[in-house]
Structure 1
């Protein structure tokens, strides 16, 4: 299924809080050394209300999503899907205490010929994260590639 009918389809919606503990975990896991991510006093001294989340913090939402359901909904064969790319656009830094809601939509769905023969399906998803006031704070774009069936 890649006739463009899925463009605009809401894949899922999720809500989560940016928690201090998770900020610390991401900072440690990514070897982040800037104290604005680990020391609230340093964050305040830098002009922020609280600890800042690391740049990839929104990937935490993947732990709450039903990944199998969205793959099935898109008609993809999970065993042939690879992530082509992920991009984040931050409209403002995320801080401990932010409550976010996210809506993920299909913005592209096409079939392409592969360089080595066969075809592949390329699905582009965009997630917009908004804060408690409804203001957009992060946009995430994911490109998924479903490889063609092996002969």
Structure 2
């Protein structure tokens, strides 16, 4: 492994967690638990408000300038694949929350592939905080840029 190529903050995304958007995500991901679509069911299950589905933070992608992000990292988008995505919830994300996510580079290395050729592996972490500044969700993404074809 080599030393990191980049470090620091990449971007920020800010949005409101809306009940209607939670319902859309539940429908799109075939989530059948009524806590995500019915406030009464959510409260009966112990939530104060309708909780978001576990992948709801992808909404931030609509708030970000994705092309600028890719250009800033110097990635060739046509050679990038998502290696992994991991969500860590510190509390449920719920309708009515206002969140700000700050994305940072935590690792950026060149590696040799098992079948020859190099690859670039970029690990990003986004911490989402609520209106009080308390962390709510941490998201880790690993992007892999395959080496150029010879």
Match of 1:4 in 2: 4
- The 8 Å contact of residues 129 and 137 in structure 2, kept in 1 or not, is answered as yes
Name the CA distance, whole Å, in 2 between partners of 1:14 and 1:30. 22
Task: Give deviations 1:26-64, integer Å, cap 9, x for gaps.
Answer: 111111111110100111112211111000000111111
* Root mean square deviation, CA, Å: 1.1
User: For structure 1, which runs of at least 5 residues remain unmatched after alignment?
Assistant: none
Match of 2:117 in 1: 118
**Aligned with 2:105: secondary structure?**
strand
**Aligned with 1:73: secondary structure?**
helix
Name the CA distance, whole Å, in 1 between partners of 2:97 and 2:136. 10
| TM-score relative to the length of structure 2 | 0.96
Match of 1:45 in 2: 44
Task: Give deviations 1:105-150, integer Å, cap 9, x for gaps.
Answer: 0000000001111100000000000000000000000000010000
Pairing 1:61-80 to 2, within 5 Å after superposition: 61-80=60-79
| TM-score relative to the length of structure 1 | 0.95
Q: How many residues align?
A: 149
User: For structure 2, which runs of at least 5 residues remain unmatched after alignment?
Assistant: none
